């Protein structure tokens, strides 16, 4: 087995080296569901209105046709659209697709639309879609505004920096969308287009209240009614001041970034916001916003799809770490990668500094440029890779390393864990506001990022005697579930959380004979598939419990990495898992994988990181080879 493992590692390493870009970084495609293509068509309708006769003839019609083809290629046998591979139809994805396809010209009587309409009605009708879908439709007069949540620009006038108690991505969406919402647009649609056929007669468009009369949800619903009155009768001067502050906030965060937030939703809304604010298409800010948004499109003239963002820092850090673990850290390609990473260290204060004003800026963002939002997970991954990497300027690398470690330590939340972008972003009552059903209102601490951060700290000389490590270890022990697993926030799902919690504890020299480690190991062994691999469905998030799926190289690697971190180095479970990875490896050194294993917003938005299936098996094989020479 040792020879087969070594051979698989070498092939995987050579394959990974072949994926590196000339500039020194790795960046895989990052793909999701059809909602991105649907929203693209919505934005084109916003930017290119129908003519006086209601005919829609946008200048980029060929691209729109390819977006339509992409959407239709994903239609399920039941007529609907899902949000993860092999998952069921999901109502918001279905409604968005219906709108986009109808706008693009598919007839009401076409078989694709007929089947989709039946599926939407079966799923609860348009009234069952999420708030952002309804808001989007209301901008075109296709959903009653009274049935959508108010998104007031006055949120920037609220004392106590309420905006910064929301997650970073919600912040960027809310501010740009508040500008759009406050202008109350009713953009035209092609002649004859209506969505009345998607409404279930007699079903209310009102927000559903909680059964308990004393609840945050009911409080926010009542507040929303007050806000709607304010929108109609409030002081124009206050609203004008709020809009001016929102505009300034948005424009500031479009600087030093590849689009607002450098992610699809706020980039889309920022274009719409600039439009309602009166910026002409030729204005440099508008032209750049559209250019950055269009850069997310992958279009070869035959197939078109959108990426939600780019992932070069994340890919480069994981790829470099995987190569280092496999013994390739001294390669010139890895030196090129670390030099590229050093150039991308963020040295400006960002939104995070609202709560940490005295902390020296450092860290890395997920994307090429997003200086307002360095994130803890990427920074920890870079720090984990650094010991394997030798920059052409060692002194610069060491200075950067020290700053980044200090930044990570400063970004620890009071509960001992680490979140993605912020500190103590955990006001749970905000999850009950009407527009919080994208399931990402907050950025709470989580086991997977905490485990990875502990691993990174350990790789840089910080041990379990430190105050930060003690708090983080206690946090992980509190977060462990009764069955022995940990919840994974940023990867699917319990396998992911368990893997990185165990690796963090192992890095801090937690005794693998401890009951909590043994319970985690036993849980991982208990869910192994008969073929020797592991797999988990995105449905785990819906079911609040591990939900089995076919084996994937990525999740098999995570399970093996977790087991070996927990001290299981040569059980039949581990050997069978290694056999699975070796036997499913392609001749070129990579692996195939269909299921999505990345998490954007649990229950709402999932991601396929196309290089995960190459990075993580290599890490698992390398770990096994070291433990079993």
Together in a domain, 499 and 613:
yes
Together in a domain, 49 and 60:
yes
Per-residue confidence (pLDDT) for residue 133, from 0 to 100: 95
Q: Work out whether strand 30-31 and strand 605-609 pair parallel, antiparallel, or are unpaired.
A: antiparallel
Per DSSP, 87 falls in state: P
Together in a domain, 152 and 276:
yes
Per-residue confidence (pLDDT) for residue 147, from 0 to 100: 86
* 275-283, long-range: CB < 8 A, 24+ apart: 275/46, 275/47, 276/179, 276/180, 276/183, 276/185, 277/179, 277/247, 281/47
Per-residue confidence (pLDDT) for residue 160, from 0 to 100: 76
Look at residue 298 and give its three-state secondary structure: strand
Q: Work out whether strand 304-306 and strand 297-299 pair parallel, antiparallel, or are unpaired.
A: antiparallel
DSSP 452-497: HHHHHHHHTT--TTSHHHHHHHHHHHHH--TTS----SSBSSHHHH
What is the extent of the structural domain holding 559? 2-30+319-330+446-627
Look at residue 325 and give its three-state secondary structure: helix
Per-residue confidence (pLDDT) for residue 209, from 0 to 100: 52
Please say which residue of 238, 271, 306 terminates a domain.
306
Instruction: Tokens for 485, please give them.
Output: 């697993």
Distance of CA 581 to the CA centre of its chain: 27
Together in a domain, 22 and 55:
no
Beta bridge partners of 375: 364
- Is 543 in contact with 537 (CB distance < 8 Å)? no
pLDDT in tens, 5-15: 999 999 999 99
pLDDT above 80 (res 258): yes
Instruction: Tokens for 550, please give them.
Output: 């076919």
Per-residue confidence (pLDDT) for residue 157, from 0 to 100: 87
pLDDT above 60 (res 117): yes
Please say which residue of 272, 306, 340 terminates a domain.
306
pLDDT above 80 (res 226): no
Instruction: Count CB neighbours of 57 within 10 A.
Output: 9
- Looking at residue 612, which CATH number applies to its domain? 1.50.10.20
Mean pLDDT over 575-604 rounds to 97
Angstrom distances, CA of residue 284 to CA of 177, 245, 532: 21, 20, 55
pLDDT in tens, 411-433: 999 999 999 999 999 888 776 66
Asked whether residue 383 is domain-assigned, the answer is: no
- Is 257 in contact with 371 (CB distance < 8 Å)? yes
d(CA 27, CA 533): 27
pLDDT above 90 (res 560): yes
> Looking at the 3D structure of the chain, how many domains does it have?
2
Burial 456-476, CB ≥16 within 10 A → b, else e: bbbbbebebeeebbebbbebb
Residue whose pair of structure tokens reads 């920022």 in the numeric block: 270
Q: With bands split at pLDDT 50, 70 and 90, how would you rate the model's confidence at 205?
A: confident
pLDDT above 80 (res 233): no
Per-residue confidence (pLDDT) for residue 437, from 0 to 100: 66
pLDDT above 70 (res 381): yes
pLDDT above 90 (res 452): yes
pLDDT above 90 (res 438): no
pLDDT in tens, 494-520: 999 999 999 999 999 999 999 999 999
Share of the chain above pLDDT 70, in %: 94
**What DSSP element (H or E) covers 64?**
helix 61-73
Together in a domain, 300 and 237:
yes
Asked whether residue 176 is domain-assigned, the answer is: yes
Per-residue confidence (pLDDT) for residue 214, from 0 to 100: 44
Q: With bands split at pLDDT 50, 70 and 90, how would you rate the model's confidence at 216?
A: very low
Q: Using only C-alpha atoms, what is the Rg of the chain?
A: 25
pLDDT above 50 (res 220): no
Q: With bands split at pLDDT 50, 70 and 90, how would you rate the model's confidence at 159?
A: confident
Q: What amino acid positions are annotated as catalytic residues?
A: 377
Spatial CA neighbour of 426 closest among 406, 451, 452, 446: 446
How far apart, in Å, do the first and last CA atoms of the chain sit? 10
Burial of 37 (C-beta count, 10 Å sphere; 0-12/13-18/19+): buried
Together in a domain, 14 and 79:
no
Together in a domain, 22 and 87:
no
Q: How many residues does the chain have?
A: 629
pLDDT in tens, 300-357: 999 999 999 999 999 999 999 999 999 999 999 999 999 999 999 999 999 999 999 9
pLDDT in tens, 161-200: 889 999 999 999 999 999 999 898 999 999 999 999 999 9
| Mean pLDDT of the residues in the chain | 94
- Is 17 in contact with 323 (CB distance < 8 Å)? yes
Q: Is the pLDDT higher at 537 or at 159?
A: 537
Per DSSP, 187 falls in state: -
Give one word for 363, left, alpha or beta, with left for phi > 0 and alpha for psi -120 to 50.
left
Together in a domain, 270 and 129:
yes
Per-residue confidence (pLDDT) for residue 224, from 0 to 100: 56
Beta bridge partners of 364: 375
Q: Work out whether strand 304-306 and strand 605-609 pair parallel, antiparallel, or are unpaired.
A: unpaired
pLDDT above 90 (res 231): no
Per-residue confidence (pLDDT) for residue 1, from 0 to 100: 74
pLDDT in tens, 440-449: 889 999 999 9
Mean pLDDT over 23-28 rounds to 98
Together in a domain, 23 and 59:
no
Q: With bands split at pLDDT 50, 70 and 90, how would you rate the model's confidence at 527?
A: very high
Together in a domain, 12 and 76:
no
Together in a domain, 21 and 89:
no
- Is 189 in contact with 45 (CB distance < 8 Å)? yes
Asked whether residue 230 is domain-assigned, the answer is: yes
Per-residue confidence (pLDDT) for residue 439, from 0 to 100: 61
Q: With bands split at pLDDT 50, 70 and 90, how would you rate the model's confidence at 235?
A: low
Mean pLDDT over 75-81 rounds to 98
Give one word for 567, left, alpha or beta, with left for phi > 0 and alpha for psi -120 to 50.
left
């Amino acid at each position: 087995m040792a020879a087969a493992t070594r051979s698989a590692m070498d092939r995987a390493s050579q394959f990974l080296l072949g994926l590196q870009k000339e500039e020194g970084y790795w960046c895989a495609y990052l793909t999701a569901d059809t909602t991105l293509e649907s929203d693209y068509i919505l934005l084109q309708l916003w930017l290119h209105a129908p003519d006086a006769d209601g005919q829609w003839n946008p200048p980029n019609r060929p691209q729109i046709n390819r977006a339509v083809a992409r959407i239709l290629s994903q239609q399920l046998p039941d007529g609907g659209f899902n949000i993860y591979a092999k998952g069921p139809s999901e109502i918001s994805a279905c409604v968005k697709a219906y709108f986009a396809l109808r706008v693009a010209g598919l007839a009401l009587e076409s078989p694709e639309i007929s089947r989709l309409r039946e599926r939407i009605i079966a799923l609860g009708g348009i009234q069952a879609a999420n708030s952002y879908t309804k808001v989007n439709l209301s901008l075109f007069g296709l959903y009653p505004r009274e049935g959508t949540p108010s998104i007031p620009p006055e949120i920037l006038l609220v004392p106590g920096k309420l905006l910064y108690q929301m997650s970073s991505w919600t912040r960027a969406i809310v501010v740009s969308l508040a500008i759009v919402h406050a202008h109350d647009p009713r953009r035209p649609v092609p002649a004859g287009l209506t969505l009345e056929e998607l409404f279930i007669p007699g079903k209310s468009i009102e927000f559903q209240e909680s059964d308990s009369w004393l609840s945050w949800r009911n409080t926010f619903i009542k507040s929303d009614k007050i806000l709607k009155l304010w929108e109609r009768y409030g002081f124009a001067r206050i609203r004008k001041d709020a809009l001016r502050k929102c505009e300034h906030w948005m424009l500031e965060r479009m600087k030093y970034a590849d689009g607002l937030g450098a992610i699809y939703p706020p980039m889309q809304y920022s274009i719409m916001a600039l439009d309602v604010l009166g910026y002409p298409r030729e204005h440099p800010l508008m032209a750049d916003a559209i250019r950055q948004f269009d850069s997310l499109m992958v279009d070869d003239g035959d197939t078109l799809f959108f990426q939600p963002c780019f992932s070069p820092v994340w890919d480069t850090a994981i790829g470099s770490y995987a190569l280092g673990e496999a013994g390739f850290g001294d390669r010139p390609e890895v030196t090129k990668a670390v030099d590229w990473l050093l150039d991308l260290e963020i040295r400006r204060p960002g939104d995070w500094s609202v709560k940490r004003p005295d902390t020296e800026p450092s860290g890395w963002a997920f994307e090429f440029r997003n200086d307002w939002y360095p994130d803890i997970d990427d920074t920890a991954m870079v720090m984990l890779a650094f010991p394997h990497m030798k920059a052409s300027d060692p002194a610069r690398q060491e200075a950067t390393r020290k700053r980044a470690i200090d930044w990570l330590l400063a970004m620890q939340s009071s509960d001992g864990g680490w979140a993605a972008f912020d500190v103590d972003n955990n006001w749970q009552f905000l999850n009950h506001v009407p527009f919080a059903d994208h399931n990402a209102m907050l950025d709470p601490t989580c086991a997977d990022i905490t485990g990875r951060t502990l691993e990174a700290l350990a790789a840089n000389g910080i041990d379990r005697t430190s105050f930060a490590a003690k708090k983080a270890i206690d946090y992980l022990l509190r977060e462990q579930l009764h069955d022995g697993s940990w919840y994974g926030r940023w990867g699917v799902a319990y396998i992911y959380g368990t893997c990185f919690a165990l690796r963090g504890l192992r890095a801090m020299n937690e005794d693998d004979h401890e009951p909590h480690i043994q319970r985690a190991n036993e849980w991982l062994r208990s869910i192994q598939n008969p073929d020797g691999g592991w797999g988990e469905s995105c449905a785990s998030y819906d079911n609040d419990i591990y939900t089995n799926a076919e084996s994937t190289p990525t999740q098999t690697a995570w399970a093996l990495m977790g087991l070996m971190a927990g001290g299981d180095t040569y059980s039949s479970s581990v050997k069978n898992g290694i056999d699975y990875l070796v036997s499913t490896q392609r001749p070129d050194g990579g692996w195939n994988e269909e299921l999505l294993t990345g998490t954007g917003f649990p229950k709402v938005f999932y991601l396929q990181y196309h290089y995960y299936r190459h990075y993580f098996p290599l890490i698992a094989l390398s770990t096994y080879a070291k433990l079993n020479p």
